[in-house]
Structure 1
Amino acid sequence: MAQKGPIAFPAGEPARSQRVSIVEGSFASVHIAVSLSSLVTAYALMLGANDFHLGLLSAVGAAGSLGALAGAWGAGLAGSRRRLVVFAAVAGRALWTALCVLPFIPLLPGWRLPAFFSVILLSNLLVNAANNGWLSWMTDLVPLEQRGRYFGRRNTVLGAVSMAVTFASGKAFDWFKAAGRPEHGFALIFGLAVACALVSGLILARQWEPAAALERPAPVHRMFGSAFRDPGFRPLLWFFILWSLATSVAGPFFGAHMIKNLGMPLGVIAVYSIIAGTVNLLVQPLWGRVIDRLGNKPVLVFNMLGIFFLPLFWLFAGPGFYLPIWIDAFLTGIFWPGFGLATFNLLLISAPEGDRQPYLAVQNVATGLSVFLASLAGGALAKWMGGVHVRFLGLDLVNFHLLFALSSLLRLAILPLALRLPEERAGSVGALLDLMGNKASQAFSESLRSGVMVVRKLKRK
């Protein structure tokens, strides 16, 4: 439970720990980027996964959100958020060492996939236990008025690292695959990711932790009851639940579509991350400043409108024709960073200070359950529609395309709920559009003024 009242910071804090967090996060991002990349889908396919298994892979990862409940209890038992976070994060990511050796272990047919899913589940349980305490910890280290700018800057650095790692790991795997040794490629890439996770843990242990009243949380049913009854937190909680359902019904299959149906090498797939990541680097700090000026809600709603269209671009891509996917990557780099930063800040604001850690645990578990159910449903639908080919407006649509379209419609249906989310002193979407228009007008005027000055100088010459 986070400390109540003002925090007494020692000399140099919290600025020193904020810098430490960026360095630590850079190393952690290596493992995170690998674990969230298409490499994991390719690994599952190598082990013989079908479309349902790909949905199950996402569902198993989401089931790890139950670790957040253990994290809420474990911090009190450990007597320190830092102690729990460092142990759980390092242990969870170190489990990927098992995936390095799994392809080389002689197992009975059919046992490799269950072993793979078991590692993913245990890893996510531990990492989610760490994430809950980390959120509470960072909330104490970053004052409210700095969060937009700080997390915008931190996410920009981590995004650059993730982009580089995704591209390098994809190219490395393609080389090993071309050489007929994909298992060795996975072992090398996953092994390096684990090594970076260990370095991250060593750095995280040096981050200062404010004193906190770490008490054992209430029983689980009371934690959920309190969160769902809280009028300041309940709307945001339902938003996370429904948004997770809308996105996760198709989420596991974008990477699979690129590999199975479009025949894209992982090095080419990594170009998607490079485009999105490059735009992210430019846009993320801007969204942070906009949030500090206008609040989170207008940024959330504006970016939701853009995110609604993104899955539809995938309907137009085909083998050798990737332009719609590159357009989606560019727009992803614009809309998703603002959405993520706004929802992250709203979560920290809406969770009451005295009950922040159990509230965050409830949100994590509820969202994870939504992802679990939606991923299973998506996997079942993908397998059931495995032989479907629909001709529509000149497009050849398969099972994954239909899931992409469904996800797009579900995202739009949640917009009214986003408009009703409470936030004090938040501006409107109209104010955001006015701000963007003013900035664009200023940029145009400055460009025009510079052009006129250049012309005048040329005339003088």
Structure 2
Amino acid sequence: ANLIQIAGSFIVAKVGSRKKVCLIYLFVHRMMWACVAALPLVVFSDRLDDVRVWIFLALLMVASICASITGIAWTSWVADLVPKDFRGRFFSRRNIVAQVVGMTMAVAGGRFIDIWSTLHDSAQMRGYGFMILFGIGTVFGIAGVFTLRRISEPELSSTNGESFLSQLKMPFQDHNFRMFIVFSVAWGFATGIVGPFFSVYMINTLRIPFSVITLFGVVAGIATILGTRLWGGLIDRIGPKPLSVLCGLGGCFTPVFWIFASPENYTIIWVSHFVSGFFFSGIGLAATGMMMNLAPSRNNTVFFAVFAAVTGMFGALAPIAGGALGELFRGRVLYDGFVAISDIRILFLTSTALRLLALTLVNFIKIPDAVSVRSMFLSISRYQRFLPLYSIPSFASSGMSSVENGTANMSRSIVAVERMIDDILRRGGDLSKAVVFRVRSFDRRIDEKLDRHEQFIDQTIDRMKGFFKKNRGSRGGGE
């Protein structure tokens, strides 16, 4: 179905509207599932009873083709519609809503089938229970089509008259996008060779009950929601490339956890599901972000289609290669010590090694204005000691903003203190000037009074001298 996306990009180019292509093929996709829901009502003779299976497969194939064409049109549409600096938060919130609704409806649907099966004994009536579920899902799906009609579409960039074949060469001629495809293929292959064998290992080797396996899925779903909330805000700050390295390192070693599990104690499988859901949610966001950032706005549908086709093709080959490696490792013992590493456990280690090798290819992808991986780890280590454990799920949405708000408040406080000090100094200066003026005035007054006293004393002395001279003169004349 991923190969059909190349045809989808051609259809988008011919129609000239991603919104129109998305609405048409999405509506057809929903109607195919409406036909699937109505399939139990179709009556065939006993000799043609197998025809229902072929009709179901045909409807499923048409639905898959329509979904692939819808996906390429929708991806290009959203890439131009959502601002680059808001994509991480947008897709994280969208994925969280989809995850929560999906988990809730899965539990509700399973509960409905259980109740329906207890009320009806015949196989035909039990089949009607699934028909009702498919019908409800189809109604909500069609409602979603009409909701998309209300969303605007940016103008599609012109192709400048280039042929479709020449457009198909562009993704391979772009060095950064080509390296992104190589990295995605290598990472998908490294995870795909072991992915199908986890369930087999839980059932056949660890002998875990199906009810517990279902709970593992719930734990992974919860971890995905928590991780999506964290990575969605962080990717808008550091970019998709550093996030892919961070989450890739977290997702590389999850297969190693399975080596230490045993039928008597498989507690570590809980940890593995949580870690996988937490980090792989960030890997998905980072891959989407890098794809949209590297693809040019002109002809981005071709870039998205080529990426989906190449990665889908190698992704389909990965389980086959994993099966061949599993047969190759059968009966082989790599290490027989505290933990025996043999058979499928060697495949777990192989997947981990291939994931680490694939992660090194990220260094060859150059994204303009991207934060370096070293700067990312320095930023995280700088703020890590200030983050309590309960704030991890809301690190991107509230943690970093709290640090920024605290820094801003601190800056404002410093400015206020500086202003207060300046005001005090200004008032102190005015006070000192007033004191100096008062002192100088007092000094002048004292000097004036001293001068007056000196003048009075001098005048008194002069008068006394004149009085004594006068008395001496009068005495001398009387003798």
TM-score, scaled relative to structure 1: 0.70
Between 1 and 2, higher relative CO (CA 8 Å, sep ≥ 6) is seen in 1
Determine if the alignment matches structure 1 residue 80 to structure 2 residue 17. yes
Maintained 8 Å contact 1:273/1:329: yes
1:227 Cα deviation (Å)? 1.0
Out of 347-356 and 113-122, give the one that drifted further.
113-122
1:218 Cα deviation (Å)? 5.6
Maintained 8 Å contact 1:287/1:338: yes
> Which secondary structure does the structure 1 equivalent of 2:385 belong to?
helix
Determine if the alignment matches structure 1 residue 252 to structure 2 residue 196. yes
CA distance in 1, matches of 2:347, 2:131: 32
Match of 1:159 in 2: 99
1:425 Cα deviation (Å)? 2.5
Out of 396-405 and 338-347, give the one that drifted further.
396-405
Q: Larger Cα Rg: Structure 1 or Structure 2?
A: 2
> Which secondary structure does the structure 2 equivalent of 1:374 belong to?
helix
Q: Equivalent residues in 2 for 1:2-21 (5 A)?
A: none
What are the superposed Cα offsets for residues 18-71 of structure 1, whole Å, 9 maximum, x if unpaired? Answer: xxxxxxxxxxxxxxxxxxxxxxxxxxxxxxxxxxxxxxxxxxxxxx10121121
Give the AA of the match of 1:153. Answer: R
Maintained 8 Å contact 1:315/1:401: yes
Determine if the alignment matches structure 1 residue 150 to structure 2 residue 150. no
> RMSD over aligned Cα, in angstroms?
3.9
Match of 1:227 in 2: 171
* Residue number among 227, 237, 241 corresponding to 1:297 in the alignment: 241
What are the superposed Cα offsets for residues 59-93 of structure 1, whole Å, 9 maximum, x if unpaired? Answer: xxxxx101211211112333421121122234335
Q: Equivalent residues in 2 for 1:65-144 (5 A)?
A: 65-96=2-33, 119-144=59-84
Q: 1:117 to 1:219 in 2, by over 3 A?
A: farther
CA distance in 2, matches of 1:190, 1:261: 35
Give the AA of the match of 1:194. Answer: T
Match of 1:364 in 2: 308
Match of 1:31 in 2: none
Maintained 8 Å contact 2:96/2:229: yes
Give the AA of the match of 1:252. Answer: P
Match of 1:438 in 2: 382
> Which secondary structure does the structure 2 equivalent of 1:232 belong to?
helix
Q: 1:116 to 1:406 in 2, by over 3 A?
A: farther
Give the AA of the match of 1:76. Answer: A
CA distance in 2, matches of 1:244, 1:273: 21
What are the superposed Cα offsets for residues 324-360 of structure 1, whole Å, 9 maximum, x if unpaired? Answer: 2221221123211221111111100100111211111
1:173 Cα deviation (Å)? 5.8
> Which secondary structure does the structure 2 equivalent of 1:194 belong to?
helix
1:415 Cα deviation (Å)? 1.5
Match of 1:5 in 2: none
Q: Which residues of structure 2 form unaligned runs of 5+?
A: 392-479
Give the AA of the match of 2:85. Answer: E
Q: 1:318 to 1:91 in 2, by over 3 A?
A: farther
TM-score, scaled relative to structure 2: 0.67
What are the superposed Cα offsets for residues 399-430 of structure 1, whole Å, 9 maximum, x if unpaired? Answer: 76554443333212212101222112222333
1:299 Cα deviation (Å)? 0.9
Out of 359-368 and 286-295, give the one that drifted further.
286-295
Q: 1:255 to 1:229 in 2, by over 3 A?
A: same
* Residue number among 262, 265, 272 corresponding to 2:216 in the alignment: 272
CA distance in 1, matches of 2:314, 2:227: 29
Q: 1:224 to 1:77 in 2, by over 3 A?
A: closer
Identity %: 31
Q: 1:214 to 1:132 in 2, by over 3 A?
A: farther
Maintained 8 Å contact 1:163/1:273: no
Maintained 8 Å contact 2:10/2:164: no
> Which secondary structure does the structure 2 equivalent of 1:443 belong to?
coil
Out of 227-236 and 269-278, give the one that drifted further.
269-278
1:322 Cα deviation (Å)? 4.5
CA distance in 1, matches of 2:205, 2:92: 35
Match of 1:355 in 2: 299
CA distance in 1, matches of 2:220, 2:3: 30
Out of 211-220 and 85-94, give the one that drifted further.
211-220
Q: 1:215 to 1:352 in 2, by over 3 A?
A: closer
* Residue number among 174, 195, 211 corresponding to 2:155 in the alignment: 211
CA distance in 1, matches of 2:5, 2:212: 35
Q: Equivalent residues in 2 for 1:322-333 (5 A)?
A: 322-333=266-277
Maintained 8 Å contact 2:187/2:359: no
* Residue number among 278, 291, 297 corresponding to 1:334 in the alignment: 278
Q: 1:194 to 1:256 in 2, by over 3 A?
A: farther
Give the AA of the match of 2:68. Answer: N
1:169 Cα deviation (Å)? 4.2
Give the AA of the match of 2:65. Answer: L
Out of 277-286 and 287-296, give the one that drifted further.
277-286
Q: 1:366 to 1:188 in 2, by over 3 A?
A: same
1:306 Cα deviation (Å)? 1.1
Give the AA of the match of 1:333. Answer: G
> Which secondary structure does the structure 2 equivalent of 1:151 belong to?
helix
Q: 1:433 to 1:386 in 2, by over 3 A?
A: closer
Q: Which residues of structure 1 form unaligned runs of 5+?
A: 1-63, 448-461
CA distance in 2, matches of 1:300, 1:153: 19
1:230 Cα deviation (Å)? 0.9
CA distance in 1, matches of 2:272, 2:371: 28
Maintained 8 Å contact 2:206/2:262: yes
Maintained 8 Å contact 1:164/1:274: no
Match of 1:241 in 2: 185
Q: 1:90 to 1:254 in 2, by over 3 A?
A: farther
Give the AA of the match of 2:32. Answer: L
Decide which structure has greater helix share.
2
* Residue number among 216, 228, 238 corresponding to 1:284 in the alignment: 228
What are the superposed Cα offsets for residues 197-256 of structure 1, whole Å, 9 maximum, x if unpaired? Answer: 222222122221122246699666433422111123111111122222222223334345
1:123 Cα deviation (Å)? 2.8
